[in-house]
């Protein structure tokens, strides 16, 4: 279902391309646009299933990951006037705390450092002073560092791991040029469809394994420069 949704969005953007960017008096083909953004990363982090439970955690256990605001950089290449390929660079850090089954706020994962590698294809429209776009693409979430949360330490946990995973992303936003120098402001929203498997080890023994739906919203605003 998620793959079909992402594919449909990309197809819609491409199918609309003959009507995109009409009236734009500047040829954008071959242009590069760089964006400096303040980005809010708003993950879910809820538990989808508990696969291993040697610690006897409650069956109704559930969690959430905290939100974070981080700087990011986006680099975009215009293949044509109205179709571009974009990638983002940035790191975000999250804790995972309980919201059910244990006292709220019990920390199970601490300082999970995530690199959300993302590539999207974007179809652009031209509405004069505002240039909206829609897009879809793929993402690979890489966990660069994960620490054991304070609530897991009394259980004897010595190591915590989060799995790297592929997923899909939908995107929409708009650019607003400021003058004719290539400068502009930009607003962007992405919804990722991606999860992770969390594992807690006691020595070499896998004591707890849970599947989590992350599915974050990623909302950005900032400045752009096109050249």
Q: What is the CATH number of the domain that holds 221?
A: 2.40.160.20
Which whole number is the average pLDDT over 25-50? 90
Structure tokens given for 9: 């969005």
Residues 111-143 as b/e (b if ≥16 CB within 10 A, e otherwise) read: ebebebbbebbbbbbbeeeebbbbbbbebebeb
Residue 21 has pLDDT above 90, yes or no: no
9-13, 155-159, 166-170, 200-204, range with the lowest pLDDT: 9-13
Instruction: Answer yes or no: is pLDDT of 177 > 70.
Output: yes
Binned at pLDDT 50, 70 and 90, residue 92 comes out as: very high
At residue 38's C-alpha, the angle toward residues 125 and 36, to 5°, is 65
Burial environment of residue 45 by CB neighbours within 10 A (0 to 12, 13 to 18, 19 or more): buried
Number of domains in the chain: 1
Query: Which candidate, 197, 218, 135, 193, places its Cα nearest to that of 3?
Result: 193
Global pTM reads 0.84
Q: Report the distance separating Cα 98 and Cα 142, nearest Å.
A: 23
| Residue-range definition of the domain harbouring residue 62 | 2-226
* Residue 29 confidence (pLDDT): 87
């Amino acid at each position: 279902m998620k793959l079909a949704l992402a594919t449909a969005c990309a197809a819609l953007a491409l199918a609309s391309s003959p009507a995109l960017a009409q009236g734009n008096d500047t040829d954008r083909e071959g242009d590069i646009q760089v964006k400096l953004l303040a980005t809010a990363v708003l993950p879910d982090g809820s538990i989808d299933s508990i696969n291993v439970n040697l610690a006897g955690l409650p069956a109704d256990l559930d969690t959430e990951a905290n939100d974070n605001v981080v700087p990011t950089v986006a680099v975009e290449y215009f293949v044509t006037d109205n179709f571009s390929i974009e990638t983002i660079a940035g790191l975000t850090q999250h804790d995972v705390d309980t919201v059910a089954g244990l006292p709220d706020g019990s920390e199970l994962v601490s300082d999970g450092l995530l690199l959300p590698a993302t590539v999207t294809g974007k179809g652009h429209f031209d509405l004069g002073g505002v240039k909206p776009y829609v897009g879809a693409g793929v993402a690979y979430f890489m966990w660069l560092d994960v620490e054991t949360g304070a609530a897991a330490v009394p259980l004897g946990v010595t190591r915590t791991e989060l799995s790297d995973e592929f997923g899909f992303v939908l995107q929409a936003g708009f650019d607003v040029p400021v003058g004719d120098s290539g400068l502009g402001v930009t607003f962007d929203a992405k919804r990722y469809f991606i999860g992770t498997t969390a594992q807690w080890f006691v020595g070499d023994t896998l004591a707890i394994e849970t599947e989590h739906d992350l599915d974050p919203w990623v909302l950005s605003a900032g400045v752009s420069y096109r050249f």
